[in-house]
Amino acid sequence: MTRRGSKNAAPSTARPKSRSLGLSLDPDDARSLYQQLFDEIVSRISTSAFPPGFRLPPTRQLSEELDVHRNTVVRAYRDLEEAGFVESTVGRGTFVKALPRASAASPRVTATPASTSEATPPSTPLPWASLLAERATSEPIRRIARRTKRPLFGPAIDLSRLQPGPDLLPTKLLTRCMEHVLDRSGGRALGYAPLEGAASLREQIAADLARQGVPASADDVIVTSGSQQALDVIVRALVDPGDTVLVQAPTYGGALQIFAAAGARVEGLPNDADGPLVPTAARGRPKLVYLMPNHANPTGGCISEQRRHELVAWARGRGVPIVEDDYAEDLELDALPTPPAMRALDGEVLYTSSFSKRLVPALRIGFVLAPEPLRPTLAALQHTSSLGTSLLLQLTLAELLERGYGRAHAARMREIYRSRRDALCDSLEKHLDGRVIVPRPARGVTAWLPLPGAIDLESLGETARREGVLVATGDLFAGARTDPEPDAHGVRLAYCFEPEDRLIEGARRFVKALDQLWPQSASKRGKQRNEGEGALV
Amino acid sequence: MTRRGSKNAAPSTARPKSRSLGLSLDPDDARSLYQQLFDEIVSRISTSAFPPGFRLPPTRQLSEELDVHRNTVVRAYRDLEEAGFVESTVGRGTFVKALPRASAASPRVTATPASTSEATPPSTPLPWASLLAERATSEPIRRIARRTKRPLFGPAIDLSRLQPGPDLLPTKLLTRCMEHVLDRSGGRALGYAPLEGAASLREQIAADLARQGVPASADDVIVTSGSQQALDVIVRALVDPGDTVLVQAPTYGGALQIFAAAGARVEGLPNDADGPLVPTAARGRPKLVYLMPNHANPTGGCISEQRRHELVAWARGRGVPIVEDDYAEDLELDALPTPPAMRALDGEVLYTSSFSKRLVPALRIGFVLAPEPLRPTLAALQHTSSLGTSLLLQLTLAELLERGYGRAHAARMREIYRSRRDALCDSLEKHLDGRVIVPRPARGVTAWLPLPGAIDLESLGETARREGVLVATGDLFAGARTDPEPDAHGVRLAYCFEPEDRLIEGARRFVKALDQLWPQSASKRGKQRNEGEGALV
């Protein structure tokens, strides 16, 4: 009675009603027919329209009903089985599998709350603030946590974001290379990466560097999760808590965070027109010198060739490693000569760079060139930090570079960044009207605007935000102890993320904010603002 | 004269010879026609067959010559321009661009080697060994660097590798989800990820955990580069150099490396049948307790529900955070009840897991569930370490979980791992012939074989390697100071990487190696080996 009366069981004698499955395929859909069939069936399994134990129609029958080649159905069924949604038994048919028993009957759900509440006092949290490690509470780390949460694509114009805008990312080229890698290597592209990185990528990186005059062999390269992890690993390898690190002042906030997390004492080097001054004996015995010789973040300065030689000679003589962070590698916007890389002057220099600014941040791939004796330690610490960077993304980037897509894309980026730089700087000059000289950077993706010392930088950032533009003020790059005080009073404006029209408008909004804080004209400013509102809006 | 005589300029009056471009498209190729055309042209640009300034034939003409729709050529040309290989000028045509001037005329290439060699002594390397930080030279870190370099797919049978074999990786499902993400979000999927991870992924992870009885909301989740980075970040947040960390002894080598890199003092907890003993006062005031309650690595032990309650109550009472590493989450192979997660007993427990063992290592995605007061610091330190995990991979995983592919795949993995476990353990039992009891793990992807203390583990690893099988011996998991000495003398055999036939053969080879070192039967062994050779080979 029960068996015969069951509504779920298909009557075995009558003609199967699989037409009522309601499946339909669309030949105009971008997905292939077998993919559509796969998706349709998975969707019905998810909603339990096809419950566990449900028998799918035989392939021949379904192919006739859907008017498709039988192979289409066979392939969809095979993929469904491979993916774990159905199981086939020869002679019996293809059945929907019972999905994870954990969904309903996980033994863990039967936790015993009674004894739990007796044994532990859930109402009293642990004293987390007092449990934090000393270095985790340092100012540069706290700064990240304090950072205003802002939506990635909000209405504000973002001149603070140091990444290519979404319109500049080579989605198609990346997709094509990734599909090729997955098609060629299958599961072999989806495991863990070798300790130092994928061999094919290390070769491409070395070739790419050679093209730019940075001597490197594939063996020199250790692949990392962006140049951020490269620096983190270098610091973990070389810096003990309390050790001194020398930096250009001001310098990249992310580097200051790494030094803080390592418990390092950070000393800033003052600059002259040639770059940071060669350290004097007063700097003690530093463990590391961190430099951005080609396009300093945030000021955009480029260290002269002469000063590079002096710094390298000093470091060699004192036995102090230099880290050369060339994050804006391959982003020379004007046909100006760039001095040789410090790594080209001395093979003991640790050279780091990244594919985030010139290619794709979501690759999360950077690298370090390191002298042979240091490599095993760097690779081991990189492994300790994260077990390496995604093998799939490494192989995809290698393919992209090997095909020449990387070079072509970088050339295109240089053109676009040049236009964007000019749009931003032209608009700034127009609105500033001579009050501040706007230096036009020859490299990279940011402009640096020095400001009168009387302007409070935190207030400026907040005022700009209210005017609808986000900027990176100089205080975000402070933290090194310097003597004398460096010229870090200014604002960094990035021209990589926003398109030209928004850069032009962003500059206008920024100057409007600046007007509100401009010194030595308090009374005049009041008038100007009223006039300005009319003129600028 | 020069102009007219230029060989590179196509004669403007004669019929263009673009047939001689030698392009040909194959309708049977898996790539679409426009992709083939794109690839063909890029390939000719790379080899300079189409030099800079070379004019491509007009789209109408090329489409006729190739007998394809004109839109095919238009699309290929547009993509070539977008990728930076050509530029089009209305009315003039489409020309190959001069690729990066850096390739030949990089100003950096003109480094001044003369002054370099004067200024610096390149022949004397820096004293790197003496420059290393103290923690970077600790034993667990050195162990990685010492590790024998072995090919990923060598002839040896690999029972040491804790990752799914390439045949088990859901390449098609992953490709489909990734294509969907790139198609839907384009460049927005290729930027940096939000500080705590992509919102859609955090939601899917929380839902996935809820299904397994681990209470979590999306807000609790911080996405990391595997559970390795999750632990690294936790330790950086909570452990100062010299602080004590308590672990199960023996424990995961990667965790010991993280503790070593942090300069922590590691104390091992001895075990009884219920799991690690509740720490006594002799353990001092630890800053962290690190546990793998459900499937300890390497021993496979599962902490009893009673002991979980006791450990949680002790930790709360002493104000010590617990880290619950559930790396083998969702890998219950038998229908045995699993005790509740420690995180389910106490919301202050830090819970970490990974998608590397049950899904795809190359995603490099793990996570930590953390109490609210700790989250900003963990997110900030994760940002400091690597600027986050690939947004593209995060969105792909979110899509994969949302479609139910993750659950279906995990169910299939459980079946396969169960069969592989049985194949390995059956073969071990057969060849060991009762000398060692082979515990059959109810969860995870590794079996633990306790061995007589007289067997030297390093020799065993080396002998096994010579016999063509790689294993993880217990010494790799030692490092915690323990009193009394824990029962860590054994070998871990992973059944996830190799297929069944190789697991069966691998067990045979391993026992053959073991026979050569088996104690208390030196003379008898000699004979056995001779007999054995015949029987086993």
**pLDDT, tens digit, for every residue of A60-88?**
999 888 888 888 899 899 889 888 899 88
CATH number of A33-119: 1.10.10.10
pLDDT bracket for residue B35 (50, 70, 90): confident
User: What mean pLDDT do residues A349-372 have?
Assistant: 94
Interface contact flag, B122 A347, Cβ < 8 Å: yes
Chain A residue with the nearest C-alpha to that of B312: A120
Mean pLDDT lowest among A107-116, A431-440, A455-464, B505-514? A107-116
Provide the shortest C-alpha distance from residue B437 to chain A (in Å).
28
Chain A residue with the nearest C-alpha to that of B226: A386
Tokens 């990249």, residue?
Answer: A252
Chain B residue with the nearest C-alpha to that of A258: B384
Contacts of A363 in chain B (CB under 8 A): 390
User: What mean pLDDT do residues A91-97 have?
Assistant: 89
The alpha carbon of residue B188 and the mean position of all alpha carbons in its chain are separated, in whole angstroms, by 25
Contacts of B182 in chain A (CB under 8 A): 171, 174-175
- What residues contact B22, with CB distance under 8 A and at least 6 apart? none
pLDDT of residue A244: 94
SS3 A215: coil
Q: Does A114 touch chain B (CB under 8 A)?
A: no
* CA-CA-CA-CA torsion sign (A128, A134, A136, A138): positive
Contacts of B385 in chain A (CB under 8 A): 225, 228-229, 232, 385-386
pLDDT of residue B101: 47
**pLDDT, tens digit, for every residue of B25-34?**
887 777 778 8
**pLDDT, tens digit, for every residue of B375-384?**
999 999 999 9
Which of the residues A86, A387, A393 would you substitute to probe the B interface, choosing the one with the greatest number of B C-beta atoms within 10 Å?
A387
Which of the residues B235, B257, B390 would you substitute to probe the A interface, choosing the one with the greatest number of A C-beta atoms within 10 Å?
B390
Provide the shortest C-alpha distance from residue A48 to chain B (in Å).
12
Interface contact flag, B46 A341, Cβ < 8 Å: no
pLDDT of residue A486: 62
Tokens 């169960």, residue?
Answer: B418
Burial class (CB in 10 A: 0-12, 13-18, 19+), B173: buried
- pLDDT higher than threshold 90 for residue B418: yes
pLDDT of residue A417: 96
Q: What is the DSSP code (8-state) at residue B481?
A: E
Residue B75 CB coordination number (10 Å): 18
pLDDT of residue A7: 43
pLDDT of residue B113: 44
CATH number of A170-403: 3.40.640.10
Asked, colleague to colleague, whether B33-119 and B170-403 share their fold, the answer is: no
pLDDT of residue B322: 97
Name the average pLDDT for chain A: 85
SS3 A8: coil
Distance CA B389, CA B393 (A): 8
- pLDDT higher than threshold 60 for residue A423: yes
How much is the pTM?
Answer: 0.85
pLDDT of residue B129: 86
Amino acid identity, position A437:
I
Chain B residue with the nearest C-alpha to that of A359: B190
**pLDDT, tens digit, for every residue of B284-316?**
689 999 999 999 999 999 999 999 999 999 999
Chain B residue with the nearest C-alpha to that of A161: B192
Touching B: A residues 305-344, CB under 8 Å: 305, 309-310, 312-313, 316, 319, 321, 330, 332, 335-341, 344
Considering only CB atoms, B364 lies closest to which of A211, A379, A390, namely A390
pLDDT of residue B398: 97
- pLDDT higher than threshold 50 for residue A428: yes
Interface contact flag, A190 B166, Cβ < 8 Å: yes
Q: What is the DSSP code (8-state) at residue B149?
A: P
- The residues spanned by each domain of chain B are 33-119, 137-166+408-524, 170-403
pLDDT of residue B280: 81
Burial class (CB in 10 A: 0-12, 13-18, 19+), B151: exposed
Name the average pLDDT for chain B: 85
Burial class (CB in 10 A: 0-12, 13-18, 19+), B524: exposed
Burial class (CB in 10 A: 0-12, 13-18, 19+), B107: middle
pLDDT of residue B485: 63
- pLDDT higher than threshold 50 for residue B15: no
Q: Does A134 touch chain B (CB under 8 A)?
A: yes
pLDDT bracket for residue A401 (50, 70, 90): very high
Distance CA B451, CA B489 (A): 6
The alpha carbon of residue A105 and the mean position of all alpha carbons in its chain are separated, in whole angstroms, by 40
Which is nearest to B446 in space by CA: B151, B158, B168? B158
pLDDT bracket for residue A47 (50, 70, 90): confident
Helix axes A405-432, B70-83, angle to 10 degrees: 60
Q: Does A360 touch chain B (CB under 8 A)?
A: yes
Touching A: B residues 475-514, CB under 8 Å: none
Which of the residues B43, B181, B386 would you substitute to probe the A interface, choosing the one with the greatest number of A C-beta atoms within 10 Å?
B386
Which is nearest to B159 in space by CA: B448, B381, B438, B537? B448
- pLDDT higher than threshold 60 for residue B187: yes
Which is nearest to A441 in space by CA: A330, A300, A341? A300
pLDDT bracket for residue B21 (50, 70, 90): confident
User: What mean pLDDT do residues B86-101 have?
Assistant: 82
pLDDT bracket for residue A147 (50, 70, 90): low
CATH number of A137-166+408-524: 3.90.1150.10
Provide the shortest C-alpha distance from residue B98 to chain A (in Å).
9
pLDDT of residue B152: 52
Which of the residues A128, A152, A401 would you substitute to probe the B interface, choosing the one with the greatest number of B C-beta atoms within 10 Å?
A128
Q: Does B51 touch chain A (CB under 8 A)?
A: no
**pLDDT, tens digit, for every residue of B312-352?**
999 998 899 999 999 888 888 998 888 999 999 999 999 99
Q: Does A370 touch chain B (CB under 8 A)?
A: no
SS3 helix, strand, coil % of chain B, rounded to 5? Answer: 50, 10, 40
- pLDDT higher than threshold 80 for residue A21: no
- pLDDT higher than threshold 70 for residue B360: yes
Provide the shortest C-alpha distance from residue A158 to chain B (in Å).
14
Touching B: A residues 410-449, CB under 8 Å: 410-413
Distance CA B143, CA B151 (A): 18
Distance CA B243, CA B262 (A): 9
Q: Does B215 touch chain A (CB under 8 A)?
A: no
**pLDDT, tens digit, for every residue of A470-515?**
999 998 888 777 766 666 789 999 999 999 999 999 999 999 999 9
Interface contact flag, A361 B409, Cβ < 8 Å: no
pLDDT of residue B143: 79
Which of the residues B348, B392, B396 would you substitute to probe the A interface, choosing the one with the greatest number of A C-beta atoms within 10 Å?
B392
**pLDDT, tens digit, for every residue of A261-307?**
999 999 999 889 999 999 887 666 899 999 999 999 999 999 999 99
pLDDT of residue B274: 95
